[in-house]
Amino acid sequence: MNRLLSQAHLLITRRFAIGATTLLFGSLLTTAANAQSGTRTTPSARPPAAQAGSGTKTNAGAVGLQGYCPVCIIDMKKWVKGDAQYSAQYDGKTYLFPGEEQKQMFLKDPTKYTPILGGDCIVALVEMGKRVPGSLQFAALHEDHLYLFSNEKAKSMFQANKEKYAHADIALGGKCTVCRVEMNKDVDGVAEFTSLYKGMRYLFPGQEQQQMFNQNPSKYEVTK
């Protein structure tokens, strides 16, 4: 009788152990599946909720970089949303900043922080001769300037041949347009005296020529 009871107890113990192992194995599978299907919290190099195009339209005009601070992008390599109370207009767009400090840094040297071609795709300009809006989702930094591209292919083309595209937004290949119009001479401009007009960079040999351009840019605009 005792022997039968011992055998029954052993059988029950084995079944319980098998059942517990099955439950544990199933739990591990479920945990692993959830881990694979879950989202990761690693920070992204791209701005959250970025949309096509570099600016959004408001009643006050175009907001550059969808409201992200250009100073933060260039100097901190971070996407930081600006505040409408700290804004500055430059070359037809309004840029927002998180504070007065960033705004003043921008005003001191706007050509440093403004995206190349005003946020349009430089590859599209070279390959098609067209101004196509770039996207924050396809952004790249080169020579401390921000470039936006219309798609991943355009960005890859740029990265594969930066020399071809990087300076395509410089009017007259860096020659002074004021010198050409006023003196009919080709004079090299320098980066120290740079102005933006309709997204294009204009270089001048000195402050005098730059001021003449800034006072009447449509007169000296390069249209070809």
pLDDT in tens, the chain (224 residues): 444 434 444 444 444 344 443 333 333 223 333 333 332 222 245 665 544 445 544 444 599 999 999 999 999 999 999 999 999 999 999 999 999 999 999 999 999 999 999 999 999 999 999 999 999 999 999 999 999 999 999 999 999 999 999 999 999 999 999 999 999 999 999 999 999 999 999 999 999 999 999 999 999 999 87
- Alpha-carbon distance values, 110 to 6, 120, 123, 148, 185 (Å): 88, 17, 23, 17, 28
**For position 223, what pLDDT does the model report?**
87
Coil, strand, or helix at residue 218?
helix
Tell me if the pTM is above 0.85: no
Look at the alpha carbons of 68, 105, 193, 207 in this order and tell me if their dihedral is positive or negative: positive
Q: Token digits for 180?
A: 């050409």
